Structure 1
Amino acid sequence: MADTDTDSELVRLLVDVSRDYYLEGRSKVDIAKARGLSRFQVARMLDQARELGIVRIEIGAPLHLDPTRWDGLAEALGARQVVVVASGSDTVATRENVARALADVVGERVRPGFVVGVSWSRTVEAAVRHLVPLPPCEVVQLVGALPVAGSGNSLELVQRFAAMPGVRTLPLWTPLIISDAETASGMRRQPGIAEALRRADELDLAVVAIGAWAEGRSTVYPHLTPEELEAARAAGVVAECSGRLVDAEGRPVRTALDERVVGVTIDQLVRTPEVVAVGYGPQVAPGLRAAVRGGFASTLVLDEEAALALERLLHDDAASAGEAPSVS
């Protein structure tokens, strides 16, 4: 019994010394003085605590510096590539981090003679500021303008491409969302707009943003009528891409909004060989998963918070199906 008591006291001491050193950040000398021990005794106790498993030390790179983890996430999703960057201290900082990574990915993918489709979001707009001049190619504006306070719009974005030597642009001189279906139909028949929308059938690469379907997370959300919002909710909409709504499986959700939108369709994106989709924040994870599932995103550029939320979703999917998790 005495031996058991002694062992218990030693374990408690090892725990206390380890907590002082590893969690409280106290030096070995300070711990020794406080507990009536020598510095060498403290050092031996710390070693013993690790040997007994009282202290377990794990070393791992942050998610955005762990390409192996990215590859595992991409494989689990069925995506070509997943690029993860650090989440910033606020939304603006996170958006800037994601935008820089998006610029790098687009700059690497575009080849001479490509037809490149570019949608609009605040992140895509920021990415263009960091983009190196592209080789001679054609840039198609995929959506009409949707002005947002504190940022530019798709027309300003496409003009940045027009300033690049050898780059031809096809702008959409129209708002993204028109007040009524008849006017929108007329806009889509305008020669320049019709040509840009037709050219979206011939894209080699598209750049789009995925917006979580919630107020404050999608720039499209505030422009819907109450009836359209209710229809979207009833249909299980989880995300918006270029003014188009999709459910959790990435299937287009048709509402009256579609008749008022002037821009690329989900079907056109599905037929595009390579689509780079961008998003950030945990709320966008269902939308990013849907984009890959629906076949209109092959490469994802996102922040750590979105990536971790995606991993949790995939774990939940695996658990629901009675399968072993495919990502860690």
Structure 2
Amino acid sequence: MHCSQEKLNRLAHVARRYYLEDWKQSEIARELGVSRPLISRMLSEARELGVVKITVGLPGSDSAALLDRLRLSTTIRDGVLVEDGPDDDATNQRLSEGAVQLLRQLRSRRLGIGWGHLIGQLVTWLEAHPQPDSTVTDICPLVGNASIPARNYQSNENVRLIAQQLGAAPHFIYLPALPESVEEKQLLCSTEIYRQIQLQWAQMDTALVNIGNYPSSPDFASLVRYGDLLQQNRTCGRLLVYYFNEEGSVIQSDQDFAIQIPLDALKACPNVIGVCSANTSVRALRGALRSGIFTHLTARTDLVKAALN
């Protein structure tokens, strides 16, 4: 059954009032100016259409309930939540495995990869656990290459290694993530190299993006690109080389010269998986969820619980 986005939003509003905010059906009916039996039918329809998913979990296991809350209150459609490991490295390996599990569930074929600490951990996990039966056929980077030596930020190398472990074809971007100026960025983005990576971005069905904190390390020339805009806007998080605040607004600057997938192109991707590392903050996750960019999530159970509360 095909439903308009407006109808789905209305069903989600009714379901949120009833299941998450403990409103009575009669109270919702008064708010919307409709009958109580209509509200009852809308709740049934919400369950039939998958807007509401009722899950019975084992005592002490609340991942399913948290995912249900995410579906009702955010743009997240599904995810994998993991328990903390004995240390951050162990937790990050669990998160990496969760990201691969999501790719398998989505049957992703054309994949875009971001950068950051968790992406580096994902490479490490895949090197120990190759996935030759993966459905992924093509992989491309979502951001240019960094000038720093840290492997986590070498986009082309990470794409090459991940493609090797998934049995996919790698596609590279031979451009820096941070050129010298806006003028140099404009020049580089007029080249055939950039046009080729744009084609890859347009064909993606899944993007894998690390949700990080602000301030971040490395700093990615944020002062030159943004001046004091990040401080003025109370920035709390980062995705790729974009920054956002706790309200979910991505900070824009006329002086931003980073080379990365445009936000409109990222939002057009059918599946955008946000992956949190062991040290992603509550504020960063909360802002990322409010941005409306992400459709899927891999994160620590305790982090999601804190962000929703």
TM-score scaled to structure 2, two decimals? 0.69
Structure 1 residues 72 and 78, CA gap change in structure 2 (3 angstroms): same
State the 1:222 CA deviation: 5.2
One-letter identity of the residue aligned with 2:60: A
State the 1:284 CA deviation: 3.0
Structure number with greater Rg is 1
1:108 aligns with 2:109: no
Higher deviation after alignment, 249-258 or 119-128: 249-258
Distance 1:298 1:240 in 2: 17
SS of equivalent residue, structure 1 residue 197: helix
Matched with 2:60 is 61
State the 1:282 CA deviation: 6.7
State the 1:240 CA deviation: 1.3
Matched with 1:224 is 222
Q: 1:208-238: CA deviations, max 9, x gaps?
A: 1111212xxx345353226735211112322
Matched with 1:188 is 189
Would the aligned equivalents of 1:232 and 1:253 in 2 still touch at CA under 8 Å? yes
One-letter identity of the residue aligned with 1:188: C
Of residues 224, 242, 245 in structure 2, which corresponds to 1:244? Answer: 242
| Cα root mean square deviation, aligned | 2.7
Would the aligned equivalents of 2:111 and 2:136 in 1 still touch at CA under 8 Å? no
Matched with 2:304 is 307
Would the aligned equivalents of 1:103 and 1:131 in 2 still touch at CA under 8 Å? no
Would the aligned equivalents of 1:104 and 1:131 in 2 still touch at CA under 8 Å? no
Higher deviation after alignment, 153-162 or 298-307: 153-162
Would the aligned equivalents of 1:280 and 1:305 in 2 still touch at CA under 8 Å? no
SS of equivalent residue, structure 2 residue 96: helix
State the 1:169 CA deviation: 2.5
- Give unmatched runs, 5+ long, in structure 2: 1-57
Distance 1:177 1:127 in 2: 24
Would the aligned equivalents of 1:107 and 1:131 in 2 still touch at CA under 8 Å? no
Matched with 1:139 is 139
SS of equivalent residue, structure 1 residue 87: coil
Distance 2:164 2:225 in 1: 42
Structure 1 residues 293 and 201, CA gap change in structure 2 (3 angstroms): farther
Would the aligned equivalents of 2:212 and 2:276 in 1 still touch at CA under 8 Å? yes
State the 1:123 CA deviation: 1.1
Would the aligned equivalents of 2:81 and 2:299 in 1 still touch at CA under 8 Å? yes
Count of matched residue positions in the alignment of Structure 1 and Structure 2:
246
Identity between Structure 1 and Structure 2 (%): 19
Q: 1:30-64: CA deviations, max 9, x gaps?
A: xxxxxxxxxxxxxxxxxxxxxxxxxxxxx94255x
One-letter identity of the residue aligned with 1:266: L
Distance 1:223 1:294 in 2: 23
Of residues 297, 301, 321 in structure 1, which corresponds to 2:294? Answer: 297
State the 1:249 CA deviation: 3.4
Matched with 2:35 is none
Q: 1:84-132: CA deviations, max 9, x gaps?
A: 1112333322222211111211133234xx3221111221232242451
One-letter identity of the residue aligned with 1:225: L
Matched with 1:71 is 68
Structure 1 residues 96 and 166, CA gap change in structure 2 (3 angstroms): closer
Of residues 259, 263, 267 in structure 2, which corresponds to 1:266? Answer: 263
One-letter identity of the residue aligned with 2:131: V
State the 1:263 CA deviation: 0.8
SS of equivalent residue, structure 2 residue 303: helix
One-letter identity of the residue aligned with 1:241: L
Distance 2:85 2:219 in 1: 25
Distance 2:220 2:260 in 1: 18
Matched with 1:48 is none
Distance 1:107 1:148 in 2: 31
Matched with 1:156 is 157
Structure 1 residues 304 and 68, CA gap change in structure 2 (3 angstroms): closer
